[in-house]
Amino acid sequence: MPEGDTVFRTCARLHEALAGRVLRTAELRWPGLSTATLTGSAVSEVVPRGKHILIHLDSGWTLHSHLKMEGQWRIERTPPDGHHHDHRRGATAHPADARAVLVTDAWTAVGLRLGRLDLVRTTDEHTLVGHLGPDILDPAFDEAVAVANLAASDTAIGAALLDQRNLAGIGTLWASESLFLERTNPWSSGLPPAQLSRVVARARRLMTAALPHAVQASTGVRRDGENTYVHARSGRPCRRCGTTIRVAPIGPPTRERTMFYCPACQGGLAPTDDGAPVAPLGASPGSRGRRPRERR
């Protein structure tokens, strides 16, 4: 699932393409939204809220989307006639998995495989994102509130970081990397505020540094396979101590997520890890290196 920095970049591209432009046509291919009329509205701004994308219109409406696991927004130049034609069929050529098509004079934004799409009055936007904690990439990010939320959580720190109600934007990659770099066991709880503050500050620094880049990296190296310390490296040696990196589920039942960690650097084997030998990810079908499915 795209994390906050990826969503931030997506919003920046959408804002650059759409802000200040009038929608010539708009198709919302989503149950309950297909008859909505947005044509003639101008896009005021596109802003992120954690992992959520908010397209504000001057007509007082907000188009909200969430990418979930497979979604993306693609930006294309609008042809002179305003239509993307499939010359073989003479039909508008937008993929079958397009869920939203927003056309302006210059640019067309196509939402593909979106996990969620909503249209609400901007005054009611809180019904969609009001439950979120402070956005870790917001310039006005309130670290004190985020730390207080984490301290009040009754779950392990790894699961608490992934709970968007505590702070918004962190996913499994940045949670795994931040906890490793701070030598914190993801399954620990009751951590002192000073340690929670260090973990949050580390995550914010890593994600902020990642904003200008398409490839996420915590190591400073963006080459494939060298860009992280623990995330997606189960079965491989720890870059710090050489111990085999492991992966295990974290979080309450039915809401488990994956967490990568080094048992030597981070205080021992996870309670959800059976300790069996683990092969590198993708080593072979059915190997212990397979990653548990991420859920949201």
Bin 28: left if φ > 0, else alpha if -120 < ψ < 50, else beta. beta
To the query of whether residue 51 is one of the catalytic residues in this protein, the response is yes
Is 177 an annotated catalytic residue?
A: no
Catalytic residue among 48, 246, 257, 263: 257
Tokens matching residue 163: 């709970």
Please give the Cα distance from 13 to 47 (Å, whole number).
Answer: 10
Burial class of residue 212 (count of CB atoms within 10 Å of its CB; 0-12, 13-18, 19+): exposed
Catalytic residue among 2, 48, 249, 263: 2
Indicate if 3 belongs to the active site: yes
- Which residue is catalytic, options 3, 27, 125, 177? 3
Query: What gap in Å lies between CA 180 and CA 238, rounded to an integer?
Result: 10
Residues with Cβ within 8 Å of residue 7, at least 6 apart in sequence: 48, 50, 51, 52, 53, 67, 169
Q: Which of 49, 51, 99, 198 is catalytic?
A: 51
How far is Cα of residue 22 from the mean position of the Cα atoms in its chain?
28
**Catalytic: 2?**
yes
Residues noted as catalytic: 2-3, 51, 257
